[in-house]
Structure 1
Amino acid sequence: MIGLKQSAVNRQAGWGIASAGGGVHNASLQMRVCCRTMLIATAACCAAWPSAPEGRASALECAGVQCFQKAAGTAALHDAAAKSGPRLVCAAVGSCSPVEGAGPGKAVVSTGKQFPALKPFDELMEAFVRDNELPGASLAVAKDGRLVYARGFGYADVEQQQPVQPHSLFRIASISKPFTAVATLQLVEQGRLRLDTPVFDLLPHKPHLAKGASVDPRLGQVTIAHLLRHQGGWDRKETIDPLFHAIEIATVLGKPPPATQDDVIRFMMGWQLDFDPGKRYVYSNLGYCLLGRVIEQVTGRRYGDYMVNDFLKPLGIESMRLGKTLLRDRAEHEVKYYPKGDRLGIAVTGEAIGAKVLWPYGAWSIESFDSFGGWIASAPDLVRFGSAVDRYSQSGILKKKTVEAMIERPAKGHFGNDEEGKPDATHYGCGWSVRPMKNGTTNRWHTGSLSGTSTILVLRHDGLCWAVLFNTNLTADKKKPSSKIDPLVHKAADAVTAWPSHDLFAD
């Protein structure tokens, strides 16, 4: 998942240090403690720098740059932040007060058709939204390819008291990855790619190299399969997740923020890999960003255009689209997002770059997330896709051999094999988390998380498929809603004694 803690401010407690020569070195324990302490104190730092002297405005620069400065002196990202100029300001946004969702004792508004046989889902969702004080949610359930349940709960827009509808659109965050993975596998089936194709042989990007630096020769070993399985060689805990450093990377490249996907790729091609490709599993947004660019190169089309017209429409998915960052660009039928926890970040896009804004509306650029986390969709959209994957022989979305490759356990990587060489209970295939079942079937799923967003899509071994979407990222007890509700949906599904024969997809 992308994850709330993957933001530039909140997630980089273990930054690596970039030297002037472009090499990446693990920070010493002292430097890691320095970074961790400074980054945790971002709010205090920002308050202490209200006028952004010398252009070093944001809490990120205020904290992170000092770490780089102490460790490397002329670190590339330090230089970038120092040059970012007076356009960066550290200013509070006056309209950022918390918005309460439902609470104990409050009735939860709901929409969509009700069916007595599926009452366990109604009871679950109403209680979950109420007891966890969530603004809104949507649940869709399919059985053997038929949409049997699609309802909304709570509010899409709390201020306007607009209820979530079954067709409401939510940011799905990292559930974008299975879509990109399946589209990539279709190109493999068509003979336009191979799983062992070297990725950087396909891309036109030229690396951005610091003076005296050279490209890591291991980049030539990174394959399509490595990217699909998060084995490309990047470890965001050792260095950074570059997709959340839009200001710094843009400034290094001498461009206005935010950094685009192509900017990020060029920048990271100038860094050393953290491990040999294929050696282990480390979740990588960069890897799926690269897959989006591979799709563009192979098809000759923009990623979003190809996905909408050649991938989604043949599945009957009409409303799904790439999201926009700013609230003013909110799509028709899209919910509003209500962040909890660390609610404010530093704007990387919009009119107030460098100012403090709500995380969902400018503290990252969702336009640059496209192939790894940029889609908005309804719960029925996700279930239609999941059912097509689950019933591949009927839908024709993939061939049996490809599906077997998609869910097979990787030979290496802790998410596929534990340290003693024994298989883990779950593993990551090509775009899916996979749990093998005793009868030879599998459960497959993916979650997504961003500030203001929490999502889950499940393909269960018995022909059930469901998606649950939330427009906030934390429950009242500070847990991710998607993770907390996961076992409860299984329990509700098990409580259904007779599944209806209707199909809401036909509506």
Structure 2
Amino acid sequence: MNKLYYSCLFTAFFFAFSSCKKSDNGSGTTAPATQTDIVTVDSKLAAFMSAYNIPGASLAVSKNGKLVYIKGYGKANTATNELVTPAHRFRLASVSKTFTGAAVLKLVQEGKLNLDAKVFGTGGVLASDYGTAPYNANLLNITVRHLLQNVSGSWGAATGGDVIDQNPTYTYKQLFDWIINSRPNPNIPGTVYDYSNINFVLAGRVIEKISGKTYINYIKEDVMAPISGTQTDIAGKTAAEKKTNEVIYYGQGNDAPYVYNIAFPRRDADGGLMTTATELLKFVNAIDGFTTRPDILNSTNLKALTTPSAVYPGYACGIGIWSAENVWYNYGSLPGTRTGFMRHNNGMCVALLLNSRVDPSTNENPFVYAMQDLMLDLVKNTSYSWQGIDQF
């Protein structure tokens, strides 16, 4: 589908689809009919989507704890011409990691877990649940904090590649038995940053072991329910398993065969969640450290969540730290999905969810940076006339 088609498409219906006016805002309530569209914001979203062939998007913006702008753009389903509304749910991909980090710190706050507890071996949270003892010394020294900061020392691109999608029919038990037995940890934990989805799937098992609940039930009941979140769930693996109000995902180029070939729900804690842009932003506001809305973590545990490791200052416990821009953030990317949020020190927060991405096997950098710049503009540009409304 070429850019000319998308340009015509957006011209035809851009202002016809849904803003928040008299629509469900994705959190179970009807948004007030008081939002006025900001043409500059809408035009920038339309131009971005047209440039990169993105069928649909959902945007939410908050200012000082108030939801000041929510809007759907484009199509949730191109076959039926269903338009995106703020009620539509999108896969979050790696933005799920921030939920996992917050869930672990919630258990720490409840006195049920120590962030520096060992994961494996005698006295470890997972003890000898996975793999075959005796374990090597590096594996025995991995802590829960190491998992969340991606400094466990293994299982990422720098140490032989991330194997999260290999053997997709394996259960957690089979997967981790295989990984631990065949991929011994080559580095001392805490000395090497190596971004790994395996770290977070393991953290999900820590959550289950300590809480006695499934990962998704802990997220729903202990992380989201306290902030009246009702839309967060595990995404559908196939088109037939699509959940209520979940969008259709569209792969570009080499991505196309893999859009509905992702190992959900096995990838729950690293990239399996879905939600609305509004509910994602509600979650971000619950870990923002501002006094405008109650946080789910106290100051001690919020500091732990947002403190990077000594070896990599740009990543804390499932959340990125961009000190030069005064931003906390996270991005997610899977075939058919690109997502992100930002929280700025000035009190602005933004969530942006897409149902497609540029094929990473091509030069995706212009797309990635364009989305990043768009989000930065939304939290930093003081010329936007955000209304004094709260649609949370």
The offset of 1:131, in angstroms, is 2.8
Aligned to 1:499: 386
Query: What are the superposed Cα offsets for residues 24-44 of structure 1, whole Å, 9 maximum, x if unpaired?
Result: xxxxxxxxxxxxxxxxxxxxx
Question: Are 1:141 and 2:61 matched, yes or no?
Answer: yes
Could you tell me how far apart the structure 2 residues matched to 1:220 and 1:318 are? 38
What's the CA shift string for 1:188-218, capped at 9, x where partnerless? 1121111210012111554445xxx963222
Displacement of 1:497: 4.5
C-alpha displacement at 1:117, in angstroms? 7.1
Q: 1:130-174, CA deviations, whole angstroms, 9 ceiling, x for partnerless residues?
A: 232211111110111111111111110001110111111110100
RMSD over aligned Cα atoms: 2.4
Q: 1:310 to 1:206 in 2, by over 3 A?
A: closer
Looking at structure 2, the residues matched to 196 and 432 of structure 1 have their Cα atoms a distance apart, in angstroms, of: 18
Offset at 1:395?
1.1
1:298 aligns with 2:298: no
Q: Does 1:447 align with 2:334?
A: no
Letter of the aligned partner of 2:306 in structure 1?
I
Please name the residue that 2:74 is paired with: 154
Going from structure 1 to structure 2, the CA distance change for 1:339 and 1:100 (only over 3 Å counts) comes to farther
Distance 2:247 2:281 in 1: 18
> How many angstroms apart in 2 are the aligned matches of 1:99 and 1:263?
44
- SS of the equivalent of 1:390 reads coil
Determine the structure 2 residue equivalent to 1:242. 163
The whole-number CA distance in structure 1 between the counterparts of 2:2 and 2:178 is 38
Contact 1:132/1:475, CA 8 A, preserved across alignment: no
The residue identity in structure 1 corresponding to 2:113 is L
Look up the match of 1:430.
317
Using structure 1 for the length normalisation, give the TM-score: 0.68
Give, in whole Å, the separation in 2 of the partners of 1:101 and 1:326. 30
Are 1:196 and 1:224, in contact at CA under 8 Å, matched by a contact in 2?
yes
Counterpart residue identity of residue 485, structure 1: M
Q: Would the aligned equivalents of 2:87 and 2:245 in 1 still touch at CA under 8 Å?
A: yes
Correspondence 1:407 to 2:306: yes
Check if 1:203 corresponds to 2:126: yes
Cα distance in 2 for partners of 1:369, 1:461 equals 31
Aligned to 1:260: 171
Moved more, 445-454 or 186-195: 186-195
Distance in 1 of aligned mates of 2:219 and 2:290: 18
Q: Does the CA-based 8 Å contact 2:92-2:271 persist in structure 1?
A: yes
Are 1:374 and 2:272 matched, yes or no?
yes
For the structure 1 residues 392 and 143, does the alpha-carbon distance in structure 2 shift closer, same or farther, using more than 3 Å as the test?
closer
Contact 2:75 2:83 in 1 (8 A): yes
Tell me if structure 1 keeps the 8 A contact 2:251–2:359. Answer: no
Give the CA deviation at 1:299: 0.8
Deviation at 1:269, TM superposition (A): 1.7
Task: Give the Cα–Cα distance (whole angstroms) in 2 for the partners of residues 473 and 285 of structure 1.
Answer: 19
Structure-2 residue corresponding to 1:111: 18
Match of 1:283 among 161, 179, 195: 195
Preserved contact between residue 138 and residue 186 of structure 2 (Cα < 8 Å) = no
The 1:487–1:262 alpha-carbon spacing in structure 2 relative to 1, beyond 3 Å, is same
What percent of counterpart residues are identical? 28
SS in structure 2 of the partner of residue 232 of structure 1: coil
Rate the CA distance shift 1:99–1:158 in 2: closer, same or farther, 3 A: farther
The equivalent of 1:327 in structure 2 is: 239
- CA shift, 1:495, in A, is 4.7
Query: Any unmatched runs of 5+ in structure 1?
Result: 1-97, 248-257, 345-357, 417-426
Q: Any idea what the Cα deviations from partners look like across 1:354-385, whole Å, max 9, x if unmatched?
A: xxxx21212x3121110110001111011101
Of 343, 359, 368, 2:258 maps to: 359
In the TM superposition, 1:172-251 aligns within 5 A as 172-200=92-120, 201-203=124-126, 205-208=128-131, 215-237=135-157, 238-247=159-168
Unaligned ranges ≥5, structure 2: 22-34
2:364 matches 1:479: yes
How many residues align? The count is 366
- The structure with higher relative contact order (CA 8 Å, sep 6+) is 2
Quick one: which amino acid aligns to residue 340 of structure 2?
I
Aligned to 1:462, which of 346, 352, 362? Answer: 346
Matched residue SS, 2:265 = helix
Q: Rg bigger for which structure?
A: 1
2:251 aligned residue (339, 345, 348): 339
Return the alpha-carbon distance in structure 2 between the equivalents of residues 383 and 411 of structure 1. Answer: 29
In structure 2, the CA distance between the partners of 1:453 and 1:497, relative to structure 1 (3 Å rule), is closer
Contact 2:208 2:215 in 1 (8 A): yes
Whether the 8 Å CA contact 2:342–2:375 is kept in 1: the answer is: no
